[in-house]
C-alpha cells in the first residue's frame, strides 16, 4: 500500500502543472494533500473525480487559505473532518479517513511565524491533536499521521540550524513537542529508516533556495509503533516540482 502526502500550496495552481497526470503515473493508494487553498464551490469535477479515486476535502472558512484533502482508491469506512474544536476545524486543517486496520490523517499544522498568538495557536493545536490521537489509540486502531508539520525536528532536518533557532519552525518549544510526540510512541518513518540521510521537503521561493538545496524537512509520516513493522519504505520525493514542498511517501 502506497501512501503519499504533499503540501501543494494551492491545488488549482498545481493542477495546471500536471498534478492529475502525476497522480495517474504514481498511482498512490492514498494521497493526502495539504494547503489546497480552495472552497467547496471551487472544486472542479476534474479535481474531485480523478479516475480511480474517491476524494474528500476539508476547506477553511477563509477563502484561499489552508485546507486539506484525501484521495483514496479504497472507500474508507468513515471520514472525519476536524477534531471537534471549532477554532482549528474552521481552518480546514485535519481530515481523517478510517480503514479496517488503521486511520490515516492528512494534516496541515499551523505556521507560528506571524506572531506570538499564532505560535500559541500552533502549540495548542499540537497538544489537542496528540490528545485526540491518544483517544483513538485507546480504541485499538493504529494511526498514520502525515502532512506538513511546519517544524524541522533536529539539526539534520534543516540546512542552517544556527541561523534559524530563534524562528518559528525550529524553535526549542516546537522541537520539544516533536520529542514529546515520539515519547508517546509515534515514529518518524523517514528518520527510522534513514537515520543519517540529509533530505529536505520544503525550500523558500527566494534566493534560489531549492536550486541550492537550502531546505527544511517539514513534511512527515508518523505511525504508531505497532504499524512500524509494516513500513517497508519511507521516501522524500524531492525531484517532484510544482510546489515549494515536495511529496513524501511510505509503503506499507
| 234 Cβ contact list (under 8 Å, min separation 6) | 189, 190, 192, 193, 194, 221, 248, 249, 250, 251
Query: What is the model's pTM?
Result: 0.98
Q: What is the predicted pLDDT for the residue at 70?
A: 99
CA gap 135, 130 in Å, rounded: 9
133 pLDDT more than 90 = yes
Count CB atoms within 10 A of the CB of residue 16. 9
Q: Compute the C-alpha angle 48/250/195, nearest 5°.
A: 145
Q: Compute the C-alpha angle 166/105/37, nearest 5°.
A: 70
Q: What is the predicted pLDDT for the residue at 155?
A: 98
**Residues 115-132, mean pLDDT to the nearest whole number:** 97
Q: What is the predicted pLDDT for the residue at 106?
A: 99
Range of the domain at 114: 2-251
Per-residue confidence band for 219, with pLDDT thresholds at 50, 70 and 90: very high
229 pLDDT more than 90 = yes
Packing angle of the helix pair 116-138, 172-183 (nearest 10 deg): 0
**pLDDT tens for each residue of 31-70:** 999 999 999 999 999 999 999 999 999 999 999 999 999 9
| Nearest residue to 226 (alpha-carbon basis) of 151, 153, 152, 136 | 136
Per-residue confidence band for 159, with pLDDT thresholds at 50, 70 and 90: very high
| Nearest residue to 252 (alpha-carbon basis) of 226, 224, 236, 228 | 228
Q: What is the predicted pLDDT for the residue at 114?
A: 86
Q: What is the CATH number of the domain that holds 188?
A: 3.60.10.10
CA 106 to each of CA 34, 93, 143, 251: distance values in angstroms, whole numbers, following the listed order: 7, 8, 11, 16
Among residues 148, 157, 188, 244, the one annotated as catalytic is 148
Map grid coordinates 492528512 to a residue. 106
Total count of domains within the chain: 1
Determine whether 148 is an active site residue.
yes
Exposed e or buried b for every residue in 230-243, given b needs 16+ CB within 10 A? ebeebbbebeeebb
**Residues 184-210, mean pLDDT to the nearest whole number:** 97
Q: What is the mean pLDDT of the chain?
A: 97
In percent, how much of the chain has pLDDT > 90? 99
Amino acid at each position: 500500500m502506497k501512501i503519499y502526502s504533499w503540501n501543494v500550496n494551492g491545488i488549482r495552481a498545481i493542477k495546471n502543472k500536471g498534478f492529475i497526470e502525476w497522480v495517474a503515473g504514481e498511482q498512490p493508494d492514498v494521497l493526502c494533500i495539504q494547503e489546497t487553498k480552495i472552497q467547496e464551490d471551487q472544486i472542479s469535477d476534474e479535481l474531485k473525480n480523478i479516475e480511480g479515486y474517491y476524494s474528500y476535502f476539508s476547506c477553511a472558512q477563509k477563502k484561499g487559505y489552508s485546507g486539506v484533502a484525501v484521495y483514496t482508491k479504497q472507500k474508507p469506512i468513515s471520514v472525519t473532518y476536524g477534531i471537534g474544536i471549532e477554532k482549528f476545524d474552521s481552518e480546514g486543517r485535519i481530515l481523517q479517513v478510517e480503514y479496517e486496520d488503521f486511520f490515516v490523517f492528512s494534516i496541515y499544522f499551523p505556521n507560528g511565524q506571524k506572531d506570538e498568538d499564532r505560535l500559541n495557536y500552533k502549540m495548542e493545536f499540537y497538544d489537542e491533536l496528540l490528545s485526540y490521537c491518544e483517544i483513538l489509540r485507546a480504541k485499538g486502531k493504529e494511526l498514520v499521521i502525515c502532512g506538513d508539520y511546519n517544524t524541522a525536528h533536529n539539526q539534520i532536518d534543516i540546512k542552517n540550524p544556527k541561523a534559524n533557532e530563534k524562528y518559528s519552525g525550529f524553535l526549542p518549544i516546537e522541537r520539544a513537542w516533536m520529542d514529546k510526540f515520539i515519547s508517546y510512541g509515534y515514529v518518524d518513518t523517514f528518520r527510522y529508516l534513514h537515520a543519517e540521510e540529509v533530505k529536505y521537503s520544503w525550500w523558500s521561493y527566494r534566493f534560489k533556495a531549492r536550486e541550492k538545496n537550502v531546505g527544511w524537512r517539514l513534511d512527515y509520516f508518523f505511525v504508531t509503533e505497532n504499524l512500524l513493522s509494516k513500513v517497508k519504505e519511507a521516501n522524500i520525493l524531492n525531484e517532484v516540482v510544482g510546489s515549494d514542498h515536495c511529496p513524501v511517501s511510505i509503503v506499507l
